[in-house]
Each structure stands twice: as structure tokens, then as C-alpha cells.
Amino acid sequence: MRRWGTERVVGRHEPKVNEHHLESAGLPEDSRLRLLSFNIQVGISTEKYRHYLTRGWQHLLPHNGRAGNLQKIGELLGDFDLVALQEADGGSLRSGYINQVEHLAQLGAFPYWYQQLNRNLGKLGQHSNGVLSRVKPWVIEDHPLPGPKGRGAILVRFGEGPDALVVVMMHLALGARTRSLQLAYIRELIGGYKYQVLMGDMNPHASDLLQNSPLRDLGLLAPQVEATFPSWRPQRCLDHILLSPTLTLESVQVLAQPISDHLPVAVEIRLPGSLTADALPALSPGPRGPLA
């Protein structure tokens, strides 16, 4: 992989395991996979622009409502198989020293989880991305992204070789130039795989990602174009789940759950048999309807 101007440390990791929830591990027998991307704003509820000022202290200090917000998020996540979290706290003063990724994995009964720490501010903040999964990943890679420190991507792979399913979860920069460098890096990560999913808080509109970014030659699909931000009056589409055309889209929805300042994005896909046979073991059958 080419160098990006500074020495980069890329880590390969095993997922953390919730032993009490291993009974919910695996893929449903119908080969449908439910994906969710959610910027949870460290459990802060924002309902108006002025709350960024009046509730800004909650980014530094604990508050009583955070636990209830996380409970709501955990209940929502329970309907999904693979979740990308942005703006989670890994355990600091503001979160009551609770690792929010681990906590949401417990609330949603996910057997596998991983926290990516992007900004370590000690007791003041543990800025993180997270992944929650009902299927054990074959590989998890932790990638710091180009640009100023503090942005990262998590690569999760199911299966081996070019026919594996590769999912990259990210929170991209606000600036267009830095974001282009980050997308070029991600493009290099996924280019050799047939089945690709990109999910996260990407900041630009889907048309910019698909037509004017380093991803433009991949032929990715953006099934969701509804606005996700701000959650109380959505006007901008900042959060996305992008799919390679080799995957079958079943449904897509922006969920009307104004818990954070972003709305969550949900996508349901059907996986090809070559993936489900070995890479994604089956889950015990149970009642499961389509996304509303």
C-alpha cells in the first residue's frame, strides 16, 4: 500500500466477545443482512440548534439523561445484524467511564464488537468509532485515516479472497481536501474485493461521493438519499450506506429516531450463496420480518 506522507499504524484485531450473547451469533437462514449506521453523538440528545450551546457541556461532563438515550439506542440496534457507530465514547468522565460501544453491544445482545479509539483525551474524552456484529468477522482492521489525527475507519471482512464481503465503517473529515485523501485511502483498501459495503458519517451528499470522489470508478450504489441531519428537521444527507452492484438490495430506510443529532440509516441486503455457505454461519431460525 502506498505511503500517505506520515508513518501509519494499521492494526489487525480479533473482535471482543460477549459470552452471554453467543446464542444470537450468525446469519439468518434467508441470507438477509441488516445494516445500520448511526452517529450517536456520545448519547447526547439534540433537538434544536440552540442545544449545541445549552447542552454543549455534556460533551465534557456526565448528565443524567445519557443513560436513557443509550437505552433507546440499544433497543433500536437489536433489530440489526451489523452496526457502525460514530461519535461513541470509549469510557471517560462524560460517559461515566462507560465504554459506550461495549455497553450498546450488551444492550443490543451482540456477541461481537470492536471499539476504534481515534482521539484519546484521557479522562476528558475517548472519541471512538465502533462495530457491533452478530456474525464473527474473519478480520478486523483498524485504519487511521489521512489528514489531521482523529479520524479512522474500521475494515471488517467476512470470508477469504476476492469473493469475501468487505465492510468499511468510517467517520470522514469535514474538509473536502482531507476527505478526498481519506476516500482515496479507502478506495485502495476495498478495490480488490467483489462485495463491498461502505457505511458511516461521510459528510458530503451521495452524488459527490459517487461522481466527484476517488470512489467514482467503483460503480457503488447509494440506495438512500433522504436527509439525515439535523435529526429534528433533516435537510442534509450526511450519513450513508454504499453498496457494490454485486449485492442485492432488499430495502432502505432513514429511521425517524431523533435520539442524536443525526438520524440512523438502515439497509437490508441479500447475500449471494458463495458468501453465506462458509463465511457467514447460519443463525437459528426465528421470526423476522422485513424492514418497515
* Contact between 195 and 166 (Cβ < 8 Å): yes
Give the confidence band of 270 by pLDDT, cuts at 50, 70, 90.
very high
The answer as to whether 68 is a domain residue is yes
- The predicted pLDDT at position 183 comes to 98
Give the confidence band of 56 by pLDDT, cuts at 50, 70, 90.
low
- The predicted pLDDT at position 288 comes to 54
Of residues 122 and 24, which shows the higher confidence score?
122
The answer as to whether 87 is a domain residue is yes
The answer as to whether 72 is a domain residue is yes
- The predicted pLDDT at position 163 comes to 87
Other CB atoms within a 10 A radius of the CB of residue 177 amount to: 9
Residue numbers of the domain that contains 248 = 11-276
Of residues 161 and 248, which shows the higher confidence score?
248
Q: Which amino acid belongs to residue 205? A: H
The answer as to whether 283 is a domain residue is no
The answer as to whether 5 is a domain residue is no
Give the confidence band of 1 by pLDDT, cuts at 50, 70, 90.
very low
Instruction: Compute the average pLDDT of residues 91-116.
Output: 94
- The predicted pLDDT at position 5 comes to 41
CA atoms of 235 and 228, how far apart (whole Å): 7
What's the domain count of the chain?
Answer: 1
- The predicted pLDDT at position 271 comes to 87
Of residues 76 and 4, which shows the higher confidence score?
76
Q: What is the pLDDT of residues 184-234, one digit of tens each?
A: 999 999 999 999 999 999 998 898 999 999 999 999 999 988 999 998 899
CA atoms of 283 and 287, how far apart (whole Å): 12
Q: What is the CATH number of the domain that holds 93?
A: 3.60.10.10
Least-confidence region, from 44-58, 104-118, 153-167, 269-283: 44-58
From the list 74, 255, 270, the residue with the least C-alpha distance to 88 is: 74
Mean pLDDT over each residue of the chain, to the nearest integer: 87
| Res. 147: pLDDT tops 60 | yes
The answer as to whether 289 is a domain residue is no
From the list 201, 206, 213, 251, the residue with the least C-alpha distance to 88 is: 201
The answer as to whether 1 is a domain residue is no
Q: Grid coordinates representing 52? A: 449545541
The answer as to whether 6 is a domain residue is no
- Within 13 Å and on the Cβ side, how many CA atoms surround 64? 0
